[in-house]
A and B are shown apart, each in its own frame.
Chain A
Amino acid sequence: MNEVIAELHNIGKTYHTGKVNFEALRGINLKIERGEYIAILGPSGSGKSTLMQIIGCLSTPTVGSYFLAGKEVSKLSGDELAKIRNLYIGFVFQKFNLMPQMTAVDNVALPLVYRGIKTEERRKQAKDILRHIGLGQHFSHHANELSGGQQQRVAIARALVTNPEIILADEPTGNLDSKSGAEIINLFGEFNAKGKTVIIITHDVSMARHAKRIIEIQDGSISASR
């Protein structure tokens, strides 16, 4: 069996809006091994994004414990979580979330800023990755000048530039046509083939088929895992 990269113990997340408490996640137990390719499936509002935020250290669980790369991270401060995100996680969001006024290269290089890498080196690494995913012609295009598929590939390049342990993608093809979506899925497959852990959130069953493990979520709990 491979090394466990992430381990969730009895994780629960409750949102407080006004006087209403909403239990978005409850009793989540999950072990993720290095190099796994996981799809998290579930209907809208079931808690998929919430789970991704916790795995990605964007938020902390209300209850339970979470070990990432052997370290308990569920009670860390905002700054410590920011460092862990920068070190271990690459995010790909449904809305691409690029900096519209920055060039493709600068967008990809952005996470390296927070690693204190020099501008020249950052640009070089960003260009290498962009070239690798077929955007060699678009280095100095601003993000808002690129097509949806191209933007999402830039976002993936940005997620990969730090060489993270885990790539977390929240509905990465939700805003794309099927052809662009397929290209994106191919990219994930490729990186998984290099031994990286990939976790994709989707409610598209056909996309989930590419994953080696499918976890289904319903009403904040894991209802099936196969």
Chain B
Amino acid sequence: MALGTGFCERSKHDLMDIAGNSMAVWQRATSKSYRGYPKGQTNRITIADVIALPKVLPSIEMVSPMLNKSATLSYMGKAYMKGVWGVTADHVKLAKLKIATGGRFFIQIDVERQARVAVISNKVKQVFFGKNGNALGAKFLIDGVSFTIIGVLADDEKNKLDRDEDVFISYKSYQEMYGDKYIEKYFFVVTKPNVSTMQAEQILRSYFAGKYNFDKNDKEAMGFWGSSKIQESISWYLLGIQIFLSVCGMMVLAVGSLGVANIMFLIVAERTYEIGLRKAIGATDQQIFLQIFLEVLVIAVVGGIIGLASVFLTTTFLQHITLPAWIGAPKLSWLTAAIAFLVLALIELVTGFFPARRAAKMDPIEALLT
């Protein structure tokens, strides 16, 4: 269960880093006719529309147009085909990119001045400059156009995820080079913290419906894939995993309890003789009951402490060896521990109660004869 909690926290953490409250948006053919326009229209959203969104819609925090194509990169005679992205200066925040120390991502002024600056992935840097070479300040060519490298993505696990092949330049430079006017694939928006991606869907759909003359209730006209949808589906999946691990935990508890119950019964069975003797020389039912019950309790408490201690040690141990990152560090939640402890304590009380009562009711003669 500690593993389960750790895994879920780690997965949620990953998810937050990729998505935040961001959402991918794209256009699709309309499914309803509207004001004389037949259905099946594809409305082409322009890059300028997207860049303007944070200014015209208060619910939008930032955007990135996600222009993308494959380009030939070359440096000192070496040439490679890699993906090039045309993005906003906000992209670094939006995608939560980490830049290696010394470098930076381009900023708004770079975009406005159409500065020919680029940020490259660690993989690209290694291809041209080697593992320990310095790429910062170097000039290289993207489809024959010279760019200065101002930043390299950190050799970080998160950056590795799907950005190995990437080069980032400003969308303005991209437009200048390739002449793009429309969003060809999709763009990213990040909503203000108090606006959910669900709400943002409505707002964006109505906004573009007004602009491009389609029905604002036409849910087919635009595609959205937002973090709330992802989070929702992933939450279910994580919940499933946690239920599974909890069921495993419960089964371990149940088996453990059976063991405990068994031991409790053995304690009494093995001591039939002793109990009979004690009763023969004057122990009352209540005195026997208390004696057995207290012994069971002591065993239970000592066992519980040993159990918790070993769980604590194992968890600490697992935290210190390297597990595959996706498992996450096992986290001993106090709730888990408390529930396990309470369940076992309850079972031990019950399993202690019945043998103790049986012992108390024992006939001293029969106990002595065996």
Contact = CB atoms under 8 A, between A and B. Distances in A.
Interface of A: 53, 58-59, 78-79, 82-83, 85-87, 91, 93, 97, 99, 110-111, 113-115, 158, 162
B364 interface: yes
Given A79-B286, A99-B274, A111 B368 contact: no
Nearest to B287: A114
Given A53-B365, A58-B364, A158 B285 contact: no
B318 to A, nearest CB: 41
Interface stretch (B1-9, B18-26, B37-45, B276-284): B276-284
A85 B276 CA distance: 13
A58 B280 contact: yes
Given A114-B287, A115-B282, 14 more contacts: A53-B365, A59-B363, A78-B285, A82-B279, A82-B283, A82-B285, A85-B282, A97-B273, A97-B280, A99-B274, A110-B281, A111-B281, A114-B283, A162-B282
23 contacts: A58-B280, A58-B364, A58-B365, A79-B284, A79-B285, A82-B279, A82-B283, A83-B284, A85-B280, A91-B280, A93-B368, A97-B273, A97-B277, A97-B280, A97-B368, A110-B278, A111-B281, A111-B282, A114-B278, A114-B283, A114-B284, A114-B287, A115-B282
A87 to B, nearest CB: 8
B365 A86 contact: no
A59 B365 contact: yes
Nearest to A98: B277
Nearest to B368: A97
B270 to A, nearest CB: 12
- Specify the main secondary structure of chain A where it touches its partner: helix
Contacts of A53: 365
A114 B363 CA distance: 18
Interface residues of B, number: 17
- Specify the main secondary structure of chain B where it touches its partner: helix
B282 A83 contact: yes
Contacts, number: 47
A113 B274 CA distance: 14
A82 B282 contact: yes
A86 B282 CA distance: 4
B284 A82 contact: yes
Question: Residue among B274, B280, B285 with the most chain A CB within 10 A?
Answer: B280
Question: Residue among B280, B282, B284, B363 with the most chain A CB within 10 A?
Answer: B282
A124 to B, nearest CB: 19
Nearest to B283: A114
A85 B368 contact: no
A72 B353 CA distance: 33
A78 B274 CA distance: 17
Nearest to A86: B282
Nearest to A53: B365
A97 B287 CA distance: 20
B282 to A, nearest CB: 2
A62 B281 CA distance: 23
Interface in B258-294: 273-274, 277-287
A99 B283 contact: no
A219 B101 CA distance: 105
A82 B367 CA distance: 15
A114 B280 CA distance: 11
A163 to B, nearest CB: 13
Contacts of A113: 283
Contacts of A78: 284-285
A114 B281 contact: yes
B281 A91 contact: yes
Question: Residue among A82, A83, A114 with the most chain B CB within 10 A?
Answer: A82
